[in-house]
Structure 1
Amino acid sequence: MAGCNQHTSSQDNEKKKKKNESLEKVSDISSIQRMLEIVKGAKEFNIPTIRASKKLVGYVNRGLQDPSALIFGNEKSQPLNTKFNYPSLSGIYRPKNDDDITLTFRSSNRRANKDEANYISGAYQNFYAKIGKENTRYNHVLEVVVTYTEELANQQAKDADELLAQGVYLGHLHMIPYGLKDIISVPHYKTTWGSTTFKDQVLNTEAWVYKRLKSARVVLVAKLVTGSLAYDDIWFGGRTRNPWNIEEFTTGSSSGHAACTSAGKVPFVIGSKTVGSMTLPATRCGVAALRPTFGSVGRTGVMSLSESLDKLGPVCRSVADCAVVLDAIRGNDPDDLSSRDIPLEDPFSIDITKLTVRYVDDTKMEAQRARGRLIREVRDNFSVDAFIGDAVDWERVCMGNLVGMPVIVGPAGFTNIYDPPCSNCLRKTAMTTGIYAPPHQDHIALALAMAYQSVPDHHKKRHPIDDLGPNDSISIPPKVA
């Protein structure tokens, strides 16, 4: 009897222990610190945003009669067509300055043969060897990197190189380095969500988008800064700066991605967007960013801000690179109920002279002439194949997100900053434009943007991070010898 009582007591103690552990976890998740972060974000961002956007959805049934961006199912899912047909690569060369490696090969969008791929492989060897050294140079100023995945990058580069040595070439992104927004989980590395509360969090889950890129032998070199809990550009380590004007901050939660790509530290990154988290930083930093049609890219293993609005997409220096990366990461994610296979035409093969495009000024927009109209009305009003307009107009941003339509943002030039610190200041203000297309027509927006970008060379410009004014207090460490 005594033995039974002891056994029962032991079981009770074990249950109490597990209950306490469970309560501790709940307590950690609901900590005062995190609650304060959420409350601050709600007061400064969420509540004002929702109130300002009320007029867009304030009518019968809240516009949900045809909610394509809110559908959780696969009724629109179809088998994917073949991969995009990339132009051939020619004239590649090794830059004299290793800082320019990612800029030289920024057009990873072109199909290379195995010999050219081997050459690219050799050029990147120095890059991978110094991930934690010289590649940290600009991070001191820009604050774009949370974690360097140095060990993982070297192993992935080695694996990719071994395949090349065996004559196996997996295509356009083979051995190209990239970064991930730090809300995307990678086993054995921190996924901080930009939050003080979760700055030591490790999620041993492979995000779906990471698995897609890993299988293509793309090399992850860094987890990049996100604003705390995916709000704006302030994170637990500071605030991310704009490479084109280090007195400016990047805005938007994909802040580290736009700044890192603009600075030429990686050829591309994967960011996320719920409202303006990709297009706003891309506009500030003068890079290209694609917000794909809702459901195009799976989100398993990614912190959720809004299940019905969250989207993943590429941030690159060129629009063509955005097309290539989209081709690698699109497709149905079986663990994401909103994900589906969305067949797209090849943007590299579209004859843009046969498209009808309308330019929309900053005060009007065909697709939202009546602000209360949503999904069905927007589609009915798309009397053109695409329209060009302001990439950061707030009503346009809200409408595009609610409908789930794709938009590509690209640099359209640079102007001198207002009130420069000195007469010969090199700092610039980036100008961008947005090309919008109907849902499931990402290829149209990409084709038009690529045609536009084939003329100017704004995406090839070098940033003036080293251009310090006489009163600047930001110190930049010298180059590593």
Structure 2
Amino acid sequence: MKQFSLLIIACIGSFLLGAFINNDDTQKPITSNMVEVAAQVFGLEFTPAERDSMLDNLNNARQNYEALRKIELSNDVAPALYFNPLPAGFVMPTGPSSFKASASEKVMLPKNRDELAFYTVGQLGQLIRTKQISSVELTQFFLNRLKTYDAKLHCVISLTDELALSQARRADAELKAGKYRGPLHGIPYGAKDLLATKDYKTTWGAEPYKDQTIHMNATVIQRLEAAGAVLCGKMTLGALAMGDVWFGGKTRNPWNTENGSSGSSAGSASGVSAGLLPFAIGTETLGSIVSPSTICGTTGLRPTFGRVSRHGAMALSWSMDKIGPITRSVEDCALVFNAIYGPDGNDPTVMAAPFRYIPLATLKGVRIGYVKKAFESNYPNRATDSLTLQTLRNLGAELMPFDLPTGVPASRISFLLGVEAAASFDELTRSGRDDLLARQTKNAWPNSFRSSRFVPAVEYIQANRARTKLINEMAAQLKAAKIDVYVSPTYAGGNLALTNLTGHPCVVLPNGFTKQNLPTSITFMGQLFEEGKVLAIAKAYQDATSWHKKHPVLQ
């Protein structure tokens, strides 16, 4: 199946020669000299005769661009061409879904209620189901923690107190009436503030949109409400989903509040790490679940591209945006993912595929790949990651060396993200309101948006064609290795960028601490649409360790 590019070609502005013309001269004809300058920017060379021959086409094209810019294209309007991560010959999983949580251990309400802050979703669910605590009590407990510690962590944009208590009262009434919605029934959570929530602001973390209200609930918000979850807050994100700096400041790492929490799911990871929420929803385009989970010591699931509907979520990159949970444990990720995956009829990129999850009693005989070159390279957490490999061997896994494909360097086509983001926020750039964003450095969005307008449409298409090749090469590597799951250092070796481009799912979880007592992480990667397998194997590893049970001490 072929992969398609995601932007309307005219919207990209293939030659963008207007950038070389002063605002007062936008109606003046494009000249041969202008074409020569533009060609140099693009690394091309044309003869004087060739440049002259282009002028009619380029002047007509500019008129098309001007006409196109008069058409209102809000952020929720997706391009007519959709990214598809399936390699040639890929067979979609079929059959029914199945979900089996771990065997329940008896959970008792602690004498010290503060200990609830670091209970898992599964443990809190048992307390609610057995009526040892009400959803209203639990919701008030976490709302109080959010109010108490947000002044230090800056992880909340909007508290949704009224909604939360209303949902909690409903959960308690339903349970009293014998209606139990499942393991998320009555469980408080937070949502990254790029998910639309009716009657509350959805700010995207950015000054130009800090008063924005979108009068709908995103699909993920709807599905969590249907599962009985209780929304307590809209969590911070770096402005327009980059980093941890938003219009209200910088979100902090609970392990060291002098440091940022990384991003862009900054508040989601910080809040869960600090015990302000049992779980939160994050998004990832190029590391925005993996990175803050690593920094804050949480467990995160980045699902396959096309697994979770993005309806009602801010669009940054139509071909790379993904939504997933940030939690305390791998099984908590499975519980939340089980409630949010699948088509909704609104996001055309979401595909129907079963989700099958069952915990593994042992890893004996399980073939797990490991990115050998990455693990053997010289990087800061090499010793910690080597212990992870040894733990997997001790659990009975057969570790197989695995090489990532090298035919298409992911770094050379990652500019796809910048181009799509520039189109998502085209009006912000042209209006000059991008000056309102807190970060204005060379690597911040305003400069990236402007620079991306100089990417020729042909090169954008060529990069997508190279991406098709990368997808097929990745599939061939996995097939040759005869593995379904592999492990990779979280940052070393280029795995993070590559798999965000190919759309593969991953679970990131804590695997140790640095000398500065900051968390480290390891990444488990899965085949497309096989979140169940990667979660089960990652859980077996996590159950053999205690890193996820450690938590920061807040003053």
The TM-score normalised by the length of structure 2 is 0.65
Tell me whether 1:264 sits opposite 2:279 in the alignment: no
Tell me whether 1:98 sits opposite 2:113 in the alignment: yes
Instruction: Check whether the contact 1:186–1:207 (CA below 8 A) recurs between aligned residues.
Output: yes
1:392-426 superposed Cα distances (whole Å, 9 cap, x missing partner): 23721111011100110000012331xxxxxxxxx
Name the SS of the counterpart of 1:389 in structure 2: strand
Deviation of 1:370 (Å): 3.4
Give the residue type in structure 1 aligned to 2:102: P
- Partner of residue 377, structure 1: 473
- Partner of residue 389, structure 1: 488
Moved more, 311-320 or 372-381: 372-381
Deviation of 1:207 (Å): 0.4
Q: Structure 2 stretches of 5 or more lacking a match?
A: 1-81, 378-400, 410-468
After superposition, residues 208-227 of structure 1 pair within 5 angstroms as 208-227=219-238
Give the residue type in structure 2 aligned to 1:366: D
C-alpha distance in 2 between matches for 1:242 and 1:377: 37
Match of 1:430 among 514, 519, 543: 519
C-alpha distance in 2 between matches for 1:118 and 1:92: 9
- Partner of residue 366, structure 1: 403
The TM-score normalised by the length of structure 1 is 0.75
- Partner of residue 161, structure 2: 150
Give the residue type in structure 2 aligned to 1:461: K
C-alpha distance in 1 between matches for 2:352 and 2:133: 32
Deviation of 1:86 (Å): 1.3
1:230-283 superposed Cα distances (whole Å, 9 cap, x missing partner): 111100000011111111111121011111111111111110001111101101
Deviation of 1:359 (Å): 2.2
C-alpha distance in 2 between matches for 1:434 and 1:168: 38
Match of 1:181 among 186, 192, 214: 192
Instruction: Check whether the contact 1:80–1:331 (CA below 8 A) recurs between aligned residues.
Output: no
After superposition, residues 38-437 of structure 1 pair within 5 angstroms as 68-69=84-85, 81-104=96-119, 106-108=120-122, 112=126, 117-122=129-134, 124-129=135-140, 132-348=143-359, 352-361=363-372, 362=374, 363=377, 366-372=403-409, 374-382=470-478, 383=481, 384-393=483-492, 395-417=494-516, 428-437=517-526
Deviation of 1:79 (Å): 6.9
Give the residue type in structure 2 aligned to 1:410: L
Tell me whether 1:455 sits opposite 2:466 in the alignment: no
Instruction: Check whether the contact 1:258–1:285 (CA below 8 A) recurs between aligned residues.
Output: yes
After superposition, residues 456-475 of structure 1 pair within 5 angstroms as 456-466=545-555
Instruction: Give the aligned CA root-mean-square deviation in angstroms.
Output: 2.5
Deviation of 1:327 (Å): 0.8
Distance 1:76 1:202, change over 3 A: farther
Distance 1:77 1:218, change over 3 A: farther
Name the SS of the counterpart of 1:221 in structure 2: strand
Instruction: Check whether the contact 2:128–2:186 (CA below 8 A) recurs between aligned residues.
Output: no
Instruction: Check whether the contact 1:67–1:403 (CA below 8 A) recurs between aligned residues.
Output: no
1:35-58 superposed Cα distances (whole Å, 9 cap, x missing partner): xxxxxxxxxxxxxxxxxxxxxxxx
Deviation of 1:296 (Å): 0.6
C-alpha distance in 2 between matches for 1:331 and 1:232: 28
Distance 1:369 1:283, change over 3 A: same
C-alpha distance in 2 between matches for 1:211 and 1:380: 38
Instruction: Check whether the contact 1:190–1:202 (CA below 8 A) recurs between aligned residues.
Output: yes
Name the SS of the counterpart of 1:197 in structure 2: helix
C-alpha distance in 1 between matches for 2:106 and 2:114: 19
C-alpha distance in 2 between matches for 1:429 and 1:370: 35
Deviation of 1:132 (Å): 4.9
Distance 1:80 1:239, change over 3 A: farther
Instruction: Check whether the contact 1:415–1:430 (CA below 8 A) recurs between aligned residues.
Output: yes
C-alpha distance in 2 between matches for 1:455 and 1:205: 43
Instruction: Check whether the contact 2:145–2:276 (CA below 8 A) recurs between aligned residues.
Output: no
C-alpha distance in 2 between matches for 1:107 and 1:140: 25
